[in-house]
Amino acid sequence: MILTGLLVGAILGVVMQRGRFCVTGMIRDIFLQRSWRGFVALLVVIAVHAIGLAALTSTGVIAPDHTTFAPAAVIVGGFLFGLGIILAGGCASGTWYRSAEGLVGSWIALAMYALSAAAMKYGALRGLDTWMKSWDTGLTTIPKALGVSPWWFVVAISVITFILVRRFRARDTKRPAAARLTNQPVWKRPLHLYTAGALVGLIGVVAWPLSAATGRNSGLGITTPTANTLQYTVTGDDGFIDWGVLLVLGLLVGAFIAAKSTGEFRVRIPDATTTVRSVAGGLLMGIGATLAGGCTVGNGMVQTSLFSFQGWIALLFIAVGIGVGAKYWLKPATATPTKTPQTAPQTTAAAISAALPDSPANTAIPGMQMATGFINLHSKADDKARHLGDGYFALDSLGAVCPFPLIEAKDVMADLEPGQHLVIDFDCTQGTETIPQWAVEDGHEVTDFHDTGEAAWQITIKKGHVDRDDISSV
């Protein structure tokens, strides 16, 4: 029966990888993009999960043990976890499936996450965890505190989610669809974010009774299983191997299969800055998630669907941590202008040559050198991007982790004139969704979008007259 954890985890890994499903990005977009569109996908998970768990509880199939609310631990832990996932570049489940895409930075963050979580639960930091949780209010769920049926909350969040989904879907139909990769079959295309959210919610419903049948009275969870995986690796004690451990291992396997089969797996080595952030982020993730009693899965999806005080307050302070981290750490790089010509990447140059055979960039003039390097015209477009001629600029974001390709693209695009083109090379998988979506929302036109190899893409965006359909009022 314990092997069902591996199967459920594998399915979860496929869905998350194909849906680019990461709670960090959903909340981060509220601060960076002023958009609640992604956050609604999290509400879809919670609503579907809430309906399923309430039904299973009402019929006696499961009997959840509700965690009591320890304010100091949950607030501090949630905030630290939010900071950590900004530094690490993804939430707990996101770090697992991005590791399966070949991101070495995620491997480092995952190792640090496991280390600090294990230290908090079983090792040197266990005293800190116990002390922080010593102030316990005894409160469990909001419905119980109010003396009402949880179904009132289930219906309320389901109705709210339904309205928001309809609103955002209606907005999508009133403007051009976000660009899709042009040289891929349908089966390789990512899942719609809301479809992925509904599937994650359903998987969570199925997970609980299967997990409970093995003696683990819980559903989806990442932090304790991650710590237990490390404990088993170090001690060899098979008592640490449970349904949850097989769940996270299955998630890794499923995400790898999905990434490899769709050409989205490639080992990518981080630079020094990303490596340091991965170490710090992973350590904060493990400490924060243990204090808060769960990560964006355990708290943000499961406990919220049970309407526990812990789940909703932890989610709130995770969001606060993400907001603070985004403000201080997610900024475009400072441009360093230079007059030294540099050779443009072959993928970008080849694309412009094919698209504009008669452009100045392809016209050889005796005694003149083609301007493919950085040129100093006192603008970010020229300082950060290569001027390819005929109104085309190339931005090389290969190796940059999300959301930095998008951040840099927005920074350069702000200095372009309407009608000029920005050609972006990137290898961040999530960018295949976030960059086209940004282009649509900001009124730009995607004129070309294709892959350039294993886990590498190129998108060409023509700047429009920005008329953003801002949705921050939701």
Residue by residue, pLDDT tens for the chain (474 residues) are: 789 999 999 999 999 999 999 899 999 999 988 889 999 999 999 999 999 999 999 999 999 999 899 999 999 999 999 999 999 999 999 999 999 999 999 999 999 999 999 999 999 999 999 999 999 999 999 999 999 999 999 999 999 999 999 999 998 888 888 888 766 787 888 899 999 999 999 999 999 999 999 999 999 999 999 999 999 999 999 999 999 999 999 999 999 999 999 999 999 999 999 999 999 999 999 999 999 999 999 999 999 999 999 999 999 999 999 999 999 999 888 765 544 333 334 444 455 454 444 443 443 333 333 333 333 334 556 677 888 888 899 999 988 888 889 999 898 998 899 999 999 999 888 888 889 989 888 889 899 998 888 989 899 999 987 544 443 334
Q: Which of 44, 247, 73, 302 is nearest to 162 (CA)?
A: 44
User: From the candidates 22, 91, 295, 402, which is the catalytic residue?
Assistant: 402
Contacts of 26-33 with C-beta under 8 Å, sequence gap 24+, read 27/82, 27/318, 27/319, 27/322, 27/323, 28/86, 28/322, 28/326, 28/330, 28/403, 30/319, 30/323, 30/472, 31/322, 31/323, 31/326, 31/327, 32/326, 32/330, 32/403, 32/407, 33/438, 33/441
DSSP H helices, 293-375, are 304-305, 309-329, 346-355
Would you call 428 a catalytic residue per the annotation?
A: no
Angle CA 69–304–38, to nearest 5: 135
Length of the chain: 474
| pTM confidence score | 0.87
